[in-house]
Structure 1
């Protein structure tokens, strides 16, 4: 194994796409099991977290998607940094928001470009909740044009609410900029977090129902562009979050690359249902 792909000599792991010489791309494509694209945002998360918190999480967990040693081989593409942001954070300083229709088109072009380069399996690791709808829409568009298996994983969902309750107790921890997200950033970039810069800001309780719903509100009270019990976040918990979510991401990837590849899209007309035989005259 020569050139860039020699880094895979001991098995799996990730290669950074930006460092692959063009002349070696074909060899990398042939040896790779999948490509991975982190998607984040530049967004206010309160005075205690960096503006690039979602990028820290997306890039961090993307780097956890394939371990060195035996296992799948991935190619890590540079992240999508800017995103559509909710009305709750757009007015706050440092948030750089793009329009949703621009985000969908941009993501569609990026995803199709990676697939067209020869990577039919693409993992998108998301660090910003608002990306879930725009990435999904872009994936659906690309899958109708290219033979592609496109997997979207949101880091936030890799640790369950029951598990965060074990980590943080009864306090609501999963709000924007709250203890869970702060712990996640501490797991990758503790030097960027200022725990003493923000007081606890308990988020508004969820509605007292068990049914699924999506609630979008302009300025939920209390709200300062973030909410949560920041004092519950620690580096130790951050390492636990990173280890737990990273292991689950690798389990997902291993099952995904082991599954059969998809068939190519088709523009052929849909098959028609069989027509019923006419009834005999005596039965008509």
Structure 2
């Protein structure tokens, strides 16, 4: 059975659409993930969404491979959408289903930088159409218990942008594309406005976190945090299994709702 809408013929999609399916809308980004991981993290969003669909009978829309990623604009090969562009594209994608009466939609977001813009789009659609579209930010879904089980005492050092959980999920799902031999942690001692950077969203003034429009070059070279050399396929399997299982629970709930239920 096909689950990716892009692989279906039109009659095949019409037949499935008549069953009022849950449709996952996967989002990702084209951005640096350190020296050892592919830049196209949207590939993982598509693969994980497909696994959810295979487990639940849901459908998967074509992935949106670009997101709002202003902080990575200094890195060649990164592709960023302007905020208004991202909102317009996501809105149009959702309306393409809503306009045909398909309301059981679930946004499956694989790029945390999209968060605020997704919320705005979905609030606008609720106000305009009376439809509630839920969404998941898939990487923060992985709880501390699973992180600890995957890395043990190394868990505090394993996670960050350019490291885990994406690094290990790449090793699990797309190992032929990684360069783990290049993985190394980076010292984070850079400053902006005379203050040390605190990730990609702020600065530190003693105990105060000062929000600021930090770019990756202000903070580090390629690895924002964590030790990417700790990534491994078994940890990636645990992270992927958890994301798929959690999302499948959400899909089954949406499947259980009556057709006339709001959203």
Band the TM-score falls in, shorter-chain normalisation = 0.7 to 0.9
Looking at structure 1, the residues matched to 12 and 18 of structure 2 have their Cα atoms a distance apart, in angstroms, of: 10
Q: Return the match for 1:63 from 17, 41, 50.
A: 50
1:131-170 correspondence runs (5 A): 131-146=114-129, 148-168=131-151, 169-170=154-155
Distance 1:191 1:121 in 2: 35
Secondary structure at the aligned position of 1:124 is classed as strand
Residues 121-142 of structure 1: CA distance to partner in whole angstroms, max 9, x if unpaired?
1111111111122222222222
After superposition, what is the alpha-carbon deviation per residue over 1:222-267, rounded to whole angstroms, capped at 9, x for unaligned?
Answer: 5113232011111111111111221111112112322345338xxx
Structure-2 residue corresponding to 1:36: 24
Counterparts of 2:4 and 2:165, CA distance in 1 = 28
Q: What is the SS of the residue equivalent to 1:123?
A: strand
When the two structures are superposed, what TM-score results if normalisation uses the length of structure 2? 0.81
Which of residues 188, 196, 200 is equivalent to 2:185?
200
Q: Hey, which bits of structure 1, 4+ residues long, moved more than 4 A?
A: 202-207, 212-216, 219-222
Pairs aligned (count): 247
Q: Which runs of 5+ in 2 are unaligned?
A: 189-196
More RCO (CA 8 Å, sep 6+): 2
Calculate the TM-score normalised by the size of structure 1.
Answer: 0.76
Structure (1 or 2) with the larger CA radius of gyration = 1
Structure with the largest fraction of helix: 2
Are the equivalent residues in 2 in contact too, given 1:41–1:81 (CA < 8 A)?
yes
1:28-74 C-alpha deviation (Å, 9 max, x unpaired): 2122421111111111112211110x212211221122334xxx432
Q: In the alignment, what sits opposite 2:194?
A: none
- Is 1:20 aligned with 2:15? no
Instruction: Give the corresponding residue for 2:159.
Output: 174
